Chains A and B, each alone.
Chain A
Amino acid sequence: LAKTTQPISMDSYEGQEVNITCSHNNIATNDYITWYQQFPSQGPRFIIQGYKTKVTNEVASLFIPADRKSSTLSLPRVSLSDTAVYYCLGGGGFKTIFGAGTRLFVKA
């Protein structure tokens, strides 16, 4: 399983774009990169998943360079309700292992 490293916390203001970078140096060839969002006392919620290059959905974009040793989750124009913990996972299948995540705090 790829060990992932993310910043422990980030602050932002409403309306700004937020980029959270995750490093996964030993990601396996078959592993996808997946991001989840978790609010207090709730289960994590899937945000986006990708293998390489760029993936975009209605919530976020995911940028993965060619070497796949890192990835960046981009949240456009965050709001107060985006305050949460964001987890980057390298791997999948039965071993969906979570790291410490990045605590994003969006201020007014």
Chain B
Amino acid sequence: ETGVTQTPRHLVMGMTNKKSLKCEQHLGHNAMYWYKQSAKKPLELMFVYSLEERVENNSVPSRFSPECPNSSHLFLHLHTLQPEDSALYLCASSQDRGHLTEAFFGQGTRLTVV
């Protein structure tokens, strides 16, 4: 248990569906992240929120839409996804301390797009 909880753990969705991934942290951190990990590929940083403002968006397609309503919660809204979007989606949080930052990761959501 890392203090970062992701739901659901597994999700299967059709290409026309709309779904949301949820992340919650109880560590008092002020930064939250979404990563994507495809099979046999490194983790790709998707979005970063600091103090509920988006500070990083790594050219992610608009079919992925993040939302950070407060410093403890982070969502990733999904719509009209493609099969190549199937991956492990990981949420992380950290306390902003400049270059000295330890990120805590959730268990991930295994997404399959059919």
Interface residues of A, Cβ cutoff 8 Å to B: 30-32, 34, 41-46, 49, 91-101
Are A43's CB and B42's CB within 8 A?
no
Interface of chain B: mostly helix, strand, loop or mixed: strand
Q: Quote the shortest CB–CB distance from B18 to chain A (angstroms).
A: 25
Are B96's CB and A93's CB within 8 A?
yes
Q: Quote the shortest CB–CB distance from B68 to chain A (angstroms).
A: 14
B108 partner residues in chain A, CB cutoff 8 A? 41-43
Are A96's CB and B45's CB within 8 A?
yes
Q: Which of A49, A94, A100 contacts B100 (CB 8 A)?
A: A49
Cα separation A95 to B94 with both chains bound (whole Å): 11
B43 partner residues in chain A, CB cutoff 8 A? 44, 98
16 new A-B contacts at CB < 8 Å, known A41-B110, A92-B99, A93-B98: A30-B98, A42-B105, A43-B90, A43-B107, A43-B108, A44-B103, A49-B100, A92-B101, A93-B96, A93-B101, A94-B48, A96-B33, A96-B94, A96-B103, A98-B45, A101-B42
Interface residues of B, Cβ cutoff 8 Å to A: 2, 4, 31, 33, 35, 42-43, 45, 48, 50, 55-56, 88, 90-92, 94, 96-108, 110
Are A31's CB and B99's CB within 8 A?
yes
Interface of chain A: mostly helix, strand, loop or mixed: loop
Cα separation A93 to B30 with both chains bound (whole Å): 12
Are A91's CB and B99's CB within 8 A?
yes
Given A95-B56, A99-B42, A43 and B105 contact (CB-CB distance below 8 Å): yes
Cα separation A58 to B50 with both chains bound (whole Å): 31
Cα separation A17 to B48 with both chains bound (whole Å): 36
Cα separation A97 to B101 with both chains bound (whole Å): 12
